[in-house]
Chain A
C-alpha cells in the first residue's frame, strides 16, 4: 500500500471529526500521529516493565488489561476508522480460543500437569484460529457490511450468538463446549504477558500506519460519507471487508492466548457479549478512530473495574439489591454516552490545540491564559458533542 504524504492536518484520520475541531489547521497537529505513536510506545514500554516489580498479582491483572488493549485496538479498525459498529467481534475471540483448545485435544498425551507441554500444539492452534477467523470475517463481512447502522450491529451480534450455539451443540473441545486446555505452569505466565504486549505493539504500529496510509484514508472516507467515497472511486466494499478481517486477526490471537492462559472455559465465557460491549466502550472512552484512544480507554476502564472488584468483595447490598463491579460498566456506559462521545484523547487534543491566529478570544501567550483558553475550548467541545 503506497504511503501518501499529507500536508494538512485536517486530512489526517487522527484529527477530530467533531464540529468543534473542524476548523483546526495547525502545523503541530500534522505531526500528531508521531506524538501518538511515541505516546503509545511509552505506555506499552511502561506496561512491559511491570513484571520487573515482582508482584504476581500486578502481572496477572495487567495481563487482562493488555488483552483488552488488544481487543479495543482491533475493534478500532472496523468500529473507529470505518465507523461500522460491530457488536460481535467477540466471535473471533471465541474462535481463536476454541482453535487452541481443539489443537491441544488433538494431542491428548498429557500424563502429568508438570510435563512440558508441546508448544507446537499451541502455535498450530493459534495459526488455525487466525486463518479460520480471517476467512469467517471475510465471508460474514461480504453480506453484513452492506448493512448500515443498527442493522449491521444487530447482524454481528447475531453472528456471535449463532457461533456460540454451534460450538455448544457440536460439543467442540468437550461436551457442551466445556474446554479444558492443559495446565499452564507458572513459568508461562510471563510468556502470556509478553504475548499480549507484543500483540498490542503490533496493533499500535498497524493503527499508526492506518492513520497515515491510503488504506486508512479510504476507511475514514467511508466513515464520513460512504456515498461520496464511492463516487470518488473507492471500492468501499473491499475496504470495509479488509478492515473487518484486519480487526478479526489480532482478536483471534488474543483469544488463543487467553485459552491457554485461562486453563478452562465454556462457550458462555469466550462468546459473552460483555466482551464485545467492553471493546466498544473502552474505545469510545479513549477516543474511537484515534491511535491512543483504545489503549488509554482500556487501561482506565479495566484498571478501575479491577479495583472496584477488590473493594466490593463483601457483597454491597443497598435496599436488598446487590451491587457488583458490573455497576461500574453501566455507569461508565452512561457517562461516556452522555458527556464524552468523542473520547478522552480528543478532549486532550482539543485542550492542547493552539488557537488559529486572530481566532476567537484575543488572549495573551501566558500559560495561565492558554490554560483558560484550553478549558474554554474543551467546555465548548463537550457541549457541542455531548448530551
Chain B
C-alpha cells in the first residue's frame, strides 16, 4: 500500500471538514447580503440584474454588466437622477445565474421579493429573459432587457417588459434592403440558416421580406447549429438559381458556420455577387481566420462604434461612448455592452419623465418614451420592443468594418457586385 496509515486515517476527515466549511461559508455569504435602502440624506435607487457571469454565455453576460456599470459610473458622476426635488444615486445589485434560466428566475425572485430592488435590468439570453419577465409581470416591476431579440419575449401580452434591441425580424431584412438599394440589385437570393430558434426566426423573416418585394428565394436550406461541414448545403446552393449561382447568398447562423461557409464556398468555386451573414462578420475572429476572403462580406449589427448617431444622453455619440468605455475597461465595447447601457438609459429617461420612482408610473413613462441616444432612437411599440431603431448593414473592406447602409449613417459606400475569391 502506497498510502500511509496516517493519510488513510485522516484524509476522509479532512475532506468532510472541507465540505462542511464550504457549505457554511456559502450559507454565511448568503445571509450577509444586505438589501437596498436609503440611509441618511442620500437616497439610493437600486436596480437588480441576474446575469450570466459564469457558464456558457459568461462573455456576453460580463459585457452586458460592463455596459450597466459604465452607465452607473457616469450617472453617479453627473450627480445622480433628479426626481422632483430628490436626487437619487444609482446602485445595481448583480447575481450570477451561471447561464442557467432556472437559476436566473430564482435570483430575479430574490431581487424583487427579498432585496426589494426598485427596477429590473434584463439577464442575458432569450430563455432567461422569458423566465425573468414572468417575475417582473407577476410583481409589476418594470424590466428593460438588453439582450433578447426573439419575438416570443414580447408576444405574451406582458405590460412590464421592454427591450432596446431591434427585433429578430430586422437582422436579415436590413441586409436585403442594402442589397436592393444598389444600382443593379440582385435578381434572386438563397438563404441558409441554423436550426436554433433565433437563426430560424431571422431566416423566416428574411424569406417573408424577400417575397414581399418580389425577390425570388431560390433556396431556403436548414442545417444543424454548429455544423462543421456545409458541403452538401452549399452544393445545393451552387445550382439553385436555375443551374446557376444565386446573386445573393445570406447565412443566418453563428460565427463558426459563417467561416465554414466562406471556406467551403471558396473550395467549391461558388461566387455569388454578394455574401451576407447575420452573425460572424463583426467578430475579429472572422477577419483573422479568413484573411482576404473575408473582404466584401456584409453583416448586420444592432450598433457599431462608427455610427453617426447624435443623442441627448450622457454619452452623445457612439464615438464618445467608445472612448469612455475604453477608458474605464481598457478594451473596445461590443454591441452587448452598448445594449446594456441603452437599457439603463431608457430607465433613466423614464424615471425623469415620470417624476417618480413608482413602478407603475415608470412603466407608463417607458411605454411613452421616445428619445434619441448614442444607441439610436429608443421608442417601444405596444408589445414593448424597440421597433423604431434601425439596424445597420456593414461591409468588410480591406479587413475593416464600415457601415454602408442606411446611407444617412454610412461611413463608406458598398462594393457590389463583389469580386470572386482570389481577387479580393
Contact = CB atoms under 8 A, between A and B. Distances in A.
Given A174-B152, A175-B200, A308-B26, A113 B12 contact: no
Contacts of B155: 180
A307 B9 contact: no
A183 B158 contact: yes
A14 B94 CA distance: 44
A60 B157 CA distance: 24
B290 interface: no
A178 B197 contact: yes
A324 interface: yes
A161 interface: no
B122 to A, nearest CB: 13
Interface stretch (A214-222, A223-231, A287-295, A332-340): A332-340
Interface in A331-387: 331-332, 335, 338-340, 379, 382-383, 386-387
B195 A57 contact: no
B195 A265 contact: no
A263 B130 contact: yes
A176 B198 contact: yes
A27 interface: no
Nearest to A314: B94
A23 interface: no
A335 B21 CA distance: 12
Contacts of B11: 338-339, 386-387
Contact of B130 (A113, A180, A311): A180
A306 interface: yes
A111 interface: yes
Contacts of A175: 197, 200-201, 204
B150 A310 contact: no
Contact of A331 (B22, B114, B134): B22
Nearest to B58: A322
Contacts of B200: 171, 175-176
A339 B155 CA distance: 50
B101 A264 contact: yes
B95 interface: yes
Interface stretch (B105-113, B235-243, B340-348): B105-113
Contact of B197 (A60, A176, A379): A176
A57 B134 contact: no
B243 to A, nearest CB: 29
Interface in A245-287: 258, 262-266, 268-269, 272, 274
A180 B129 CA distance: 11
Contacts of B28: 311
A307 B127 contact: no
Contact of B12 (A169, A262, A265, A379): A379
B134 A183 contact: yes
Contacts of B58: 322, 324
A307 B129 CA distance: 22
B12 A60 contact: no
Interface string B113-141: 11000000000001101110110011100
A262 B102 contact: yes
B30 A307 contact: yes
A308 B105 CA distance: 16
A171 B29 CA distance: 42
A309 interface: yes
A311 B23 CA distance: 12
Contact of A309 (B16, B32, B96): B96
A165 B195 CA distance: 10
Contacts of A268: 127
B93 A64 contact: no
Interface string B198-227: 111100100000000000000000001100
A143 interface: no
A274 B98 CA distance: 12
Nearest to B96: A324
Contacts of A52: none
B134 to A, nearest CB: 4
Given A323-B54, A326-B55, A383-B9, A310 B110 contact: yes
Nearest to A385: B12
Given A112-B157, A183-B134, A324-B98, A168 B29 contact: no
A325 interface: yes
Interface in A29-74: 55-57, 60-61, 64
A113 B281 CA distance: 39
Contact of B131 (A182, A262, A335): A262
A18 to B, nearest CB: 14
A328 interface: yes
A178 B62 contact: no
A184 interface: yes
B138 A264 contact: no
Which one of A262, A263, A309 has the highest number of Cβ atoms from chain B below 10 Å of its Cβ? A309
Contacts of B134: 183-184, 263-264
Interface string A155-169: 000000000010011
Contacts of B15: 335, 338-339
A310 B197 contact: no
Contacts of B65: 315
B156 interface: yes
B53 to A, nearest CB: 4
Interface string B18-34: 11001101111111110
Interface of A: 55-57, 60-61, 64, 110-113, 165, 168-169, 171, 174-178, 180, 182-186, 258, 262-266, 268-269, 272, 274, 300, 304, 306-315, 322-326, 328, 331-332, 335, 338-340, 379, 382-383, 386-387
29 contacts: A57-B113, A57-B114, A60-B113, A61-B106, A113-B137, A176-B197, A178-B152, A180-B155, A183-B137, A186-B138, A262-B130, A264-B127, A264-B129, A269-B102, A272-B100, A300-B23, A304-B27, A309-B96, A309-B97, A310-B95, A310-B107, A322-B54, A322-B62, A324-B54, A325-B54, A325-B103, A338-B12, A382-B16, A387-B11
Interface of B: 3, 8-9, 11-13, 15-16, 18-19, 22-23, 25-33, 53-55, 58, 62, 65, 93-98, 100-103, 105-107, 109-110, 113-114, 126-127, 129-131, 133-134, 137-139, 150, 152, 155-158, 195-201, 204, 224-225
What 10 A-B pairs are tightest by C-beta distance, nearest first?
A264-B130, A311-B29, A324-B54, A176-B197, A178-B197, A307-B30, A175-B200, A382-B12, A263-B134, A315-B53
Given A57-B113, A111-B157, A180-B152, 14 more contacts: A60-B109, A60-B113, A61-B110, A110-B157, A113-B156, A178-B150, A186-B138, A307-B31, A312-B96, A314-B94, A322-B54, A339-B16, A386-B11, A387-B11
